[in-house]
Amino acid sequence: MPATAPRPVTAPTAAASDVAMPAAGVRPTAFLGSFFHAPRYGEVELLERALIEVDARGVIAAVTLPDAPDYAARIASAREAGTLACLPDGTYGLPGFVDLHVHAPQWPQAGVALDEPLDVWLQKRTFPLEARFSDLEFARRVYRDLVRKLLSLGTTTTVYFASNDLASSIELSRIAAEAGQRALVGKVVMDDPAANPDYYRDASTAQALADTETLIREVASIATTTPQGAYAVVTPRFIPSCTDEGLAGLGRIAERHDAYVQSHCNEGQWEHDFVQARFGKSDAEALYDFGLLREKSIMAHCTFLTASDGELFARTGAAVAHCPISNSYFANSTCPVRRLRAQGVRMGLATDISGGFSPSLYDNIRHAVMVSRMLEDGVDARVPQDRRGAGEASRITSAEAFWLATAGGAEALRLPIGTFQVGRAFDAQVIDTRVPGADLTGFGVFDAPRDVLDRILFLSTPENVRQTWVQGRLAFERGSREA
Ligand SMILES: [Zn+2]
């Protein structure tokens, strides 16, 4: 088992109603409080005044509700052992969020130049920025800040595109492991000299494949030092930046190592048309033919998937990373979440920093709900109402978006996370609804559990996220004096 628990990263703020913790230096193994989760798509469950017990590996061993005969005895026993943490009234545990698509080196670019078209944004801003990550010190500075930021927003598991540089990609995995975040990290392959700038691409296809194998080996070694796990991801940037030989080689590596795969799948009209012109088939079909659409594949965007593409995803077990904010800028379309879910496609939520400007999955939950309604209703009032929308029921509820950000991401990654169920890792964020200036109590009005959760999902600010737990360990505490 791993070494010492990571030190929690902290951010200063005014004190509020704090979680009652065991004595300093003692890790709690029992959590008493009220917890929301979404074990089934579209349904929310409140575990009110539940006792969640966690074993030494950080895995949930028991969930006991007040009507259980041994409820009081279990609480008394944890209290006596000095391992009980109590969430006060007005605070709620939510599962840690799973962000399925983040470009870590684009963090300095978040919110910048989003008025540019995608090709200008990439060539003038993104590629020169990503190229700077061959400077390990610069990379460390940015990556540490990003990991800390994501933990502070309740994100406990992240699937990262690093850059084209191998050493700093490995460093990102190490930084996340040390900060206590569960990270899946890929070194980005861009091996086609005709498609990428000379200053930012792989030296050769052979080198790109060798670097990917090295990443898998190095991250496997990092994984042995961290309780929450660390995973390497085979990462062709997207079909237009890779050679056929590179794509096929990456497919073979993924199969040989049973590795995760990530890429972009028809992010926008240009990519969709490019792949059609190059191969005479859809992006999904081409990725499948290269062995890249498989179990543990995470494909970002997927806004142009046809019904038969959706079947291919469902059959192979590949998952969609839905990036609603990014899609509003660069996709020229909206991902049909409800249609793909009805086909049985695995799907979670993602920020797509920095095509999406916000590092918060809360912002993306909100936007996922809003764009799904615009997809259903349409947006141009000059078109008659019966023809204005997508012609199918597309709207999703906040409960569905909450599922995408938690259990859906877990299902996409095939990891035992995302809900408060026995056998899953205790990954949690503690939300305080009584923070001055960020009050989510609703003043005693509309206090049904679903109303409480909706206020949290739609109105919470970073101030409301008091603690973030990963694999039973405290990874972030707002206002902690520990540095
Ligand atoms: Zn992306």
CB 150 within 8 A of CB 160: no
The Cα diameter of the chain in Å comes to 69
The answer as to whether 212 is a domain residue is yes
Cα 6 to ligand 1 centroid, rounded to whole Å: 29
Same structural domain for residues 111 and 85? no
Distance CA 183, CA 34 (A): 27
User: What would the mean pLDDT of 202-224 be, rounded to a whole number?
Assistant: 98
User: What share of the chain in percent tops pLDDT 70?
Assistant: 96
Least confident of 10-14, 220-224, 349-353: 10-14
Cα 298 to ligand 1 centroid, rounded to whole Å: 11
The answer as to whether 2 is a domain residue is no
Cα 262 to ligand 1 centroid, rounded to whole Å: 10
Cα 163 to ligand 1 centroid, rounded to whole Å: 12
Question: Which residue pairs, CB below 8 angstroms and at least 24 apart, start in 210-215?
Answer: 211/166, 211/187, 212/187, 212/250, 212/253, 213/253, 214/166, 215/166, 215/169, 215/170, 215/185, 215/186, 215/187
Same structural domain for residues 461 and 448? yes
User: What would the mean pLDDT of 175-188 be, rounded to a whole number?
Assistant: 98
Cα 335 to ligand 1 centroid, rounded to whole Å: 14
Same structural domain for residues 129 and 277? yes
Q: What is the pLDDT, as a whole number, of residue 327?
A: 95
The answer as to whether 4 is a domain residue is no
Cα 351 to ligand 1 centroid, rounded to whole Å: 9
CB 424 within 8 A of CB 60: yes
By residue range, what is the domain housing residue 283? 97-413
Same structural domain for residues 30 and 173? no
Cα 299 to ligand 1 centroid, rounded to whole Å: 9
Distance CA 216, CA 242 (A): 20
Going by the DSSP 8-state scheme, the letter that residue 59 receives in this structure is B
User: The domain spanning residue 450 has which CATH number?
Assistant: 2.30.40.10
- For 111-153, what is each residue's pLDDT tens digit? 999 998 888 899 999 999 999 999 999 999 999 999 999 999 9
Query: Could you say which of 382, 413, 444 is where a domain stops?
Result: 413
The answer as to whether 283 is a domain residue is yes
Same structural domain for residues 351 and 434? no
Distance CA 295, CA 418 (A): 18
Cα 264 to ligand 1 centroid, rounded to whole Å: 6
Same structural domain for residues 311 and 363? yes
Cα 38 to ligand 1 centroid, rounded to whole Å: 26
- For 434-450, what is each residue's pLDDT tens digit? 998 889 999 889 999 99
User: What would the mean pLDDT of 247-271 be, rounded to a whole number?
Assistant: 96
Query: Could you say which of 370, 385, 413 is where a domain stops?
Result: 413
Neighbours of ion ligand 1 (CB under 5 A): 300, 352
Cα 357 to ligand 1 centroid, rounded to whole Å: 12
The answer as to whether 137 is a domain residue is yes
Q: What is the pLDDT, as a whole number, of residue 479?
A: 84
User: The domain spanning residue 395 has which CATH number?
Assistant: 3.20.20.140
Distance CA 154, CA 247 (A): 34
- Please count the structural domains in the chain: 2
Query: In the Cβ-directed half-sphere of 455, how many Cα atoms lie within 13 Å?
Result: 22
Cα 49 to ligand 1 centroid, rounded to whole Å: 40
Q: What is the pLDDT, as a whole number, of residue 413?
A: 98
